[in-house]
Structure 1
Amino acid sequence: MSDAILSKVRKLLAKAEDPACTPAEAEAFTAKATELIARYGVDRALLAAREPTSDPIGDRVIDVVAPYALDKTGLLAGIADALRCRSVRRRDGSGFAVHLFGFASDLERVELLFTSLLVQAAHGIAGTPVPSGEHPAAFRRSWLAGFAAAVAHRLRAAEAAAADSAGTAPSTGVPSVALVLADRSDRVDRRVAEVYPRLRTAGPRRLLGRGLGLGAAAGRRADLGGTGLRTGRATPLTGG
């Protein structure tokens, strides 16, 4: 991500994190940070339509470690899908290796947000008491599922808004934003099919915990701006 955009996002988040900031002001700052990241994705897509070498399609592998490794892969998959990337989950010891496919700028956004949201999820779970009579692990798994679903919904909405507000001058010779983004998604899908021709879709999970609503509420409050980009193994959630 360009230094200029990242600098703006960091400043917005610093304001949102200021103890003197009201909840309404913090929400506005966070929404602006999310808007900037979504707009960046559309701008890079339009630039690549004119200069394909500026944003090549590629892949990378992210290690997702225990505890709650499967649940964290759900968060990663939701972020990836919302940002026009695709993910393939592979078992790796006690955790998973998630193979991501997408254009370079989108992969960067996915990894930035996943790193930030893992930390936020860990803080959220730590600050949420397990209800009496509830199994801690079951509750936390359902909490993470709610958190991931809310985050993915917010990201899809931000991406759609950025695409709707983007305009392309007829003289540029670049197709419409919708066509550009659809073509990018199709190309990513084809790359996945080339690498995994016999890929199977996992069935839905049945979660017993009652933390879904609380996790979703935390996901709706989560900061989607991100504050840094780190590769490799993600910060694990604690708990049993």
Structure 2
Amino acid sequence: MTEIDPNLLGRIKGYLAKAEHPNTTEIEAETFRAHAYRLMAKHGIERAQLAAAGQLNDPIESFAIPINGKYQPERAALAGVVAYAKRCRALQWADEGTTWIMLVGFRSDLDAVKLLFPSLDLQILSGAAKVTKKPGISINSARKSYMIGFYSSLSEKLDAADDAAAKDNPTIGGKPTDVALRDRRQAVEEEFARLYPHTKPVSSGRVRDSDAYSAGRAAGARADVGGTSRVGAGGGRRSIGR
């Protein structure tokens, strides 16, 4: 079996759906999201354990995610944050109004990114829509600043979830969990470099509204969840690094 266990998948989707329900309070939403992210972190380590024991086929694969609509660079950066936190690499490029994110990682880690990113994408867009701007700052700039703040705090939360899961599962295949996960990340880095040897990282977007940025940071922290880059107008392919 190589897919996410249906029972686990149902629990994670249930938590995320409850978090996104309009009748759910912010405090309740934080709790539901925290449960979902912890389950995903635990699941990732368990899959790594099975793969190390030869009980699971968990190859390195690629998967493309299209991003359409507004604020594509900021949302692509969010995808990069989630990918890195799950030990994947991300490459992005623009094509006819769509930003594409090519993910490279172990199949079980890609599953986690594919499950988490849509929920986080909704959260960042919903929060940005409620932003109020400073005098002299455009609403577009305020919303982009909010998004930069949001995704900049996510990696810390996803790292914390992984650290907690690692403490509960101290070894993988006879190795300390942190060493085994580092080896998996290195394997992905090598495959990414083989597939895409001519990419280059770029900087994240510019913060123009410090209040909106701080609000985004706070919202990202409340999301309790994990690099960034922008795509040039020429459509060149660029890696999303941390």
Question: Considering the TM-score relative to the shorter chain, is it more than 0.5?
Answer: yes
Letter of the aligned partner of 2:221 in structure 1?
R
Preserved contact between residue 64 and residue 73 of structure 1 (Cα < 8 Å): yes
Q: 1:223 to 1:18 in 2, by over 3 A?
A: farther
Report deviation, 1:182: 1.3
Q: 1:31 aligns with which of 12, 29, 34?
A: 34
With CA pairs under 8 Å and 6+ residues apart, which has the higher RCO, 1 or 2? 1
CA distance in 2, matches of 1:13, 1:187: 31
Q: Deviations over 1:45-94 (max 9, x none)?
A: 11111127521110111112232111111100001011110111222233
CA distance in 2, matches of 1:19, 1:179: 41
Report deviation, 1:22: 6.7
Q: Deviations over 1:209-231 (max 9, x none)?
A: 3321111112122375xxxxxxx
Are residue 130 (structure 1) and residue 133 (structure 2) matched?
A: yes
Are residue 217 (structure 1) and residue 227 (structure 2) matched?
A: no
Q: 1:49 aligns with which of 52, 59, 66?
A: 52
Preserved contact between residue 144 and residue 215 of structure 1 (Cα < 8 Å): yes
Are residue 83 (structure 1) and residue 68 (structure 2) matched?
A: no
Preserved contact between residue 41 and residue 105 of structure 1 (Cα < 8 Å): yes
Report deviation, 1:153: 1.8
TM-score, normalisation: structure 2: 0.81
CA distance in 1, matches of 2:219, 2:130: 11
Q: Deviations over 1:183-202 (max 9, x none)?
A: 11011001111011122121
Letter of the aligned partner of 1:102 in structure 2?
G
CA distance in 2, matches of 1:12, 1:209: 32
CA distance in 1, matches of 2:69, 2:24: 35
Where in structure 2 are there 5+ consecutive unaligned residues? 226-242
Q: Secondary structure at the match of 2:94?
A: strand
The equivalent of 1:149 in structure 2 is 152
Letter of the aligned partner of 2:202 in structure 1?
A
Aligned length: 221
Where in structure 1 are there 5+ consecutive unaligned residues? 225-240
Letter of the aligned partner of 2:64 in structure 1?
V
The equivalent of 1:106 in structure 2 is 109
The equivalent of 2:228 in structure 1 is none
The equivalent of 1:189 in structure 2 is 189
Q: Secondary structure at the match of 2:206?
A: coil
Select between 180-189 and 21-30 the one with higher mean Cα deviation: 21-30
Q: Secondary structure at the match of 1:54?
A: coil
CA distance in 2, matches of 1:85, 1:18: 29
Select between 139-148 and 86-95 the one with higher mean Cα deviation: 86-95
Q: 1:5 to 1:141 in 2, by over 3 A?
A: same
The equivalent of 2:238 in structure 1 is none
The equivalent of 1:175 in structure 2 is 175
The equivalent of 2:206 in structure 1 is 206
Q: Deviations over 1:135-184 (max 9, x none)?
A: 01111111110111122221111112211221349xxx532212221111
Preserved contact between residue 90 and residue 102 of structure 2 (Cα < 8 Å): yes
Letter of the aligned partner of 2:120 in structure 1?
L
Report deviation, 1:26: 4.6
RMSD: 2.5
